[in-house]
Structure 1
Amino acid sequence: MLQLLQADESGYFFPAVTIQDQPRFPWRGLLIDACRHWMPVDVILRNLDGMAAAKLNVLHWHLSEDQGFRVESKLFPKLHQLGSDGLYYTQEQIREIIAYAADRGIRVVPEFDMPGHTTSWFVGYPHLASAAGPFRIERRYGVMDPVMDPTKETTYEFLEAFWREMTALFPDEYVHIGGDENNGKMWNANAEIQAFKQANNLADNHALQAYFNNRLLKILTRYQKKLVGWDEILHPDMPNNIVIHSWRGTQALVEAAQKGYMGILSNGYYIDLCQSAAFHYLNDPIPAGSQMTQDERKRVLGGEATMWSEIATKETVDSRIWPRTLAIAERLWSPAERRDVDDMYRRMERISVQMEELGLLHIKNSAMMLRRLAAGQDPKAAQNLLEWLAPVQGYYRNDHTPYTSFSPFTRMVDIAPPESMPARRFGKLVDAYLEGRKPGDRDALLKVMDAWQSNHEALVGLIKKAPALREVEPNSAILQQLGRAGREAVLYYGKKQKATAAWSAKQKELIAAAQKPNAELLMPVAGAMEKLFNAVGQ
């Protein structure tokens, strides 16, 4: 109801409307990774409030990883005592969070990833591993070698007791076993495991993992739980009463549904990769033109936005989740034919402010982090620049910088929202100007580009006293040059003149520079400026 609240000169009011609505998919989730970086209780609670506002109904809670085991275990206390750096949820906190979620119509599905992504388990219980220890909590990111030994009965005795404890703690009918990214190196190097494969006619490591997963399935079935796992668990030996969670592509989801499995999509909803809300909004769990039958379509339960935390911390996680997850929430709720991107952005920007009223920090924290970078100086020049920047997308940061769980994530790239709304509006303004829609478009363009020019000198002055900002000085210099060249382009266009060949060549070089990442930041206005330059260039 609060989202309907409007105001005019007479005061506040609710419009007279009739709402007849229901979700398209029953599984509309958000994954929060509390392992790569620790996410305290308050982070989880405020994001549950955000989920409720967005009508998301599943919190997929990633609770074990190479970098940390985050749940108190009374049966196996070394899991959290030695595998968490002291950062874990007590069982009482878990119960409180589950109750808080239930009050908001949200189910909590825990994920304990296995057999891989388990280094933190082996710190306290090295006998579970496929190679000798000792083991330490992993500080790096990526696919690591440590993996559980699926051939020992002691492994399953441990997991039987572990799951008995955890299934009692988490009441939802589903549990997630992960099952992804086992590189098999430890299995390949272990002669006993290789002999086990041969004795049991297991053709490869995928078949061996299916053996492991089937043993897990029997354990979970005894505790009246349904098994969910990433798409690597899909194997002919696995029965179709499990749920396939697709992260590698929609085709895996389609294939699973065609084989009788239920499925969930996360490919295309990886919000940690800083892609646009439009990209996520147009990504449908059932692709357009799909030849799936009606029964196969019913097996697609929905999807989840995935907030992996390699490069997100408790300070930045809200800005990586919101407001773009609103677009995913609408995709999972609304009919497939609803695809008006401009209208989605209009509504998303408005609701983003409302989400702040719920206690989310996706807007507020950026100002705090900028003040810290500014070292006690006025951060306005840095804020003015930040509006026109966005983090690199995809896995660029992970691939180009050897981050660890100890790395500080306090730079401009960490403060920048994943998508620049001013840059998007600027692109629309350039389009309107070139189409001659309104006389005022020219002046509006010049005002923006003049501000780019004047802000650079202010930023240079700020950097002298706040050296942590020095890495973005080249970004600011390029934006200044774009502003200068943009003013020239507008003058050419207004006179209906073509620029010289030399001018055009110079601007092509400028655009090329603007399109290259610096300080792991992109300049989203580069495309619109290229369009403006092309309109007058040769």
Structure 2
Amino acid sequence: MPSATCKYRLTDRHLPGSAHCAIFIKKTHSTMHYRFLFLILILLYHPLSAQQRPALMPWPQQIQKIGAGFRLNENLQIKITGSSERLERYVARFKQRLARRTTLFFDDTALANKKEPRLIQIRFTQTPEVQLGVDESYQLLILPAKVTLTATTDIGIMRGLETLLQLLTADDKSYFFPGYEIKDKPRFAWRGLLLDVCRHWLPKEVVLRNLDALAAVKMNVLHLHLTEDQGFRIESKVYPALHELGSDGYYFTQQDIREIVAYAADRGIRVVPEFDMPGHATSWFLGHPELASAPGPYELARTFGVKNPTMDPTKAETYEFLKNFLTEMAGLFPDEFIHIGGDENNGKQWSANEDIQAFMVEKRLVSNHELQAYFNRRLAAILTRLNKRMVGWDEILDERLPKSIVIQSWRGKQALVDAANAGYDVLLSNGYYIDLFQPAAYHYLNDPLPAGAPIEPQARTHVLGGEATMWAELITPETVDGRIWPRTAAIAERLWSPAAVKDVDDMYNRLRRVAVQLENVGLQHMKNYEMMMRRLVGEENVPVLRTLVDLLEPVEGYKRHGARKYTVFSPLTRVADIARSDAFEAMNFNKLAESYVANHDMTTKEELKALLLTWVDNHQQMKTLVRHYPAIAEVMPLSEDLWRLAILGLQAMSNTTVHDAEWRASAEQALTDAAMIKAECELKVVEGIRALVEAAR
């Protein structure tokens, strides 16, 4: 395609406040040159030296620097005191990951024999079942002569090994673990991720690589959302029509589930299945319309939102069916808990069914909520007989339910408070909805048990922890990693670390480095970011598109659903699907602008000018690209906004621009326009440009 390289002159007609100045810009550097400079700025603001706080996430309960570290060579010996086959496998994976990062040949005996032995000593005494409340504490001591990792359980050793990997550092001599003494344990016992594999199918390989990521940040629950209006995603041999007719052919076989459960247990992670009922149940009814509250036929939902199909809670046959099905599922999932959903039942089928209405009169049930509570009590009894505890979304909260159930709060925190004070165990997901594209800082400051929470002292132990929720309306297997990570690492820290650990800047400093580490467990959040841009504009043009996309974030909340009608067939390959919820490059620019406003340092000014000139130049290249790649046409208004803001920033720092009332009014209009949502994205450098404008004299 034609080159976008050119020399150009921006006249005053192109500038906000055009009567007051003209800026002449000669392009002398390539976009790649400026991108390299931008990376240098990132390092200046977030140095990766061994002297800074280590990139640990979650941050430990206690950590103390104790001097020189433990240097690695090929003669690494790991000695284990204690018996655990799963830990032996975990240690083998630890050693493989360490080898990949250091390129040390630990398996080369001849080479190792020439080196001084390096010893990691592991000691533990118990190998418990993977269950709620297992001891995950550990102690880590890193000395020049030896690394000692001790714990009560092998699962605690697993958590400590992840800390050790995160500590890995290098200098001009070798790789090493810096000297620290760490004593660590989790604040909450339930630290989970919900994966919705229904609305868009997520195959087994996605689940497995995310289990590795969960282990890397010490999370210990995978909540699998397995049934939904859009699909029934698990094989049932008792009722095969469920998956045969309700899945479009995309479902986990029972062997898949056994593999997932075993894979998770090998990493000290529990798997909690969710079978959503009585609502969100369309997929059940393709094979078994007799379960529904209205006659069929039924089809899988292709759009999203709350649907009408609902189970009939008045039939004895419904409970017989569910008893048989849940008995089968209980045999696949050894965990103590089974989630029954219970959310967003609009009750329309119940209200329209004369038999159901007569049943409610007979049972003196005055509302659909009371009818659903009746249904939930019957379910709880079935699960109790199966030695399972029922979990449900906060709609199921009702004082007539047994205290053995767990309430998962998603609509707000009041349900968590009310349930805990009433004696129910609770989980927090409100504030951890990572499908809403909110930044990591928002989730990080969302505490399940904040200081001053109106929970009675004796009820505080009922707060088990929380779960990040990855609902799948707007994700696919190639985007899901980037929507979960690295933000969920911040949630992992909130659920593990002391409540007092809440410095957002420090969290982001560590999160950037942890994001890279997470690639080492197989996540595709960084690789697919580039790949999806290559799809849109070709490999050679990625730097141009990335200059813009790096500064964008997808619009928060449910606004994307309001912008267009999404279905299960929609292409989730647009810039809005690529842009990250934390635009780190935009954060860096905003901080650089803030620093300049505070100090008026000339070096900082030159750094800002270099970035702004890059953005001016990039828009010219985007205008060339769009003639060949129409998929990016929708983001051209954002590129133009960035161009205008870049010029505005240059004017704000210019000594020759007249910063009078007319200029400021024009600048305010440009800032307002740039802050508007376009192509379901937001340009995140408005804050930094505004700071420069307001500081202009």
1-side partners of 2:531 and 2:696: how far apart? 42
2-side partners of 1:212 and 1:403: how far apart? 32
1:460-505 deviation per Cα after TM superposition (whole angstroms, max 9, x unaligned) = 111111111111111000100000010000114xx8x871111111
1-side partners of 2:538 and 2:566: how far apart? 24
Pick one of 228, 235, 238 that aligns with 1:72.
235
SS of residue paired to 1:158: helix
What does residue 277 of structure 2 align with? 114
1-side partners of 2:474 and 2:181: how far apart? 43
1-side partners of 2:565 and 2:446: how far apart? 30
SS of residue paired to 1:358: coil
Asked if the contact 1:250–1:287 (Cα under 8 Å) also holds between the matched residues in 2, the reply is: no
Amino acid at match of 1:386: V
1-side partners of 2:172 and 2:600: how far apart? 30
1:208-243 deviation per Cα after TM superposition (whole angstroms, max 9, x unaligned) = 000000000011011000000000000122122110
Give the direction of change, closer, same or farther, for the CA distance of 1:328–1:376 in structure 2 (3 Å limit). closer
What does residue 577 of structure 2 align with? 414
Pick one of 495, 502, 505 that aligns with 2:662.
502
1:383-402 deviation per Cα after TM superposition (whole angstroms, max 9, x unaligned) = 11111111000111123321
RMSD, aligned CA: 1.2
* Superposition misfits of 4+ residues, deviation over 4 angstroms: none
Pick one of 170, 182, 186 that aligns with 1:19.
182
What does residue 338 of structure 2 align with? 175
Is 1:372 the counterpart of 2:538? The answer is: no
1:292-336 deviation per Cα after TM superposition (whole angstroms, max 9, x unaligned) = 233211000000000001001101000000000010000000111
Is 1:485 the counterpart of 2:648? The answer is: yes
1-side partners of 2:486 and 2:510: how far apart? 10
Offset, 1:124:
0.8
2-side partners of 1:376 and 1:345: how far apart? 30
The two structures have a TM-score, normalised by structure 1, of 0.98
Asked if the contact 2:215–2:268 (Cα under 8 Å) also holds between the matched residues in 1, the reply is: yes
Amino acid at match of 1:510: A
What does residue 475 of structure 1 align with? 638
Amino acid at match of 1:288: A
Is 1:237 the counterpart of 2:397? The answer is: no
What does residue 449 of structure 1 align with? 612
SS of residue paired to 2:654: helix
Asked if the contact 1:276–1:324 (Cα under 8 Å) also holds between the matched residues in 2, the reply is: yes
Is 1:464 the counterpart of 2:464? The answer is: no
- Bigger Rg, which one: 2
What does residue 259 of structure 2 align with? 96
Amino acid at match of 2:228: E
2-side partners of 1:57 and 1:506: how far apart? 53
Alignment of 1:278-427 (within 5 A): 278-375=441-538, 378-427=541-590
1:65-94 deviation per Cα after TM superposition (whole angstroms, max 9, x unaligned) = 000000000011111111110000000010
1-side partners of 2:696 and 2:497: how far apart? 42
Asked if the contact 2:436–2:557 (Cα under 8 Å) also holds between the matched residues in 1, the reply is: yes
What does residue 696 of structure 2 align with? 536
SS of residue paired to 2:599: coil
SS of residue paired to 2:181: coil
2-side partners of 1:83 and 1:153: how far apart? 23
2-side partners of 1:485 and 1:278: how far apart? 28
2-side partners of 1:461 and 1:84: how far apart? 44
Q: Gaps spanning 5+ residues in structure 1: where?
A: none
Asked if the contact 1:498–1:536 (Cα under 8 Å) also holds between the matched residues in 2, the reply is: no
Amino acid at match of 1:522: E
What does residue 683 of structure 2 align with? 523
Asked if the contact 2:282–2:300 (Cα under 8 Å) also holds between the matched residues in 1, the reply is: yes
Identity rate, percent: 55
Q: Gaps spanning 5+ residues in structure 2: where?
A: 1-163
1-side partners of 2:511 and 2:287: how far apart? 46
Offset, 1:376:
6.2
Offset, 1:373:
0.7
Asked if the contact 1:243–1:264 (Cα under 8 Å) also holds between the matched residues in 2, the reply is: yes
Asked if the contact 1:25–1:332 (Cα under 8 Å) also holds between the matched residues in 2, the reply is: yes
Offset, 1:375:
4.7
What does residue 430 of structure 1 align with? 593
Amino acid at match of 1:157: E
What does residue 512 of structure 1 align with? 672
Asked if the contact 1:377–1:462 (Cα under 8 Å) also holds between the matched residues in 2, the reply is: no
The two structures have a TM-score, normalised by structure 2, of 0.76
2-side partners of 1:420 and 1:376: how far apart? 22
Asked if the contact 1:413–1:520 (Cα under 8 Å) also holds between the matched residues in 2, the reply is: yes
SS of residue paired to 1:379: helix
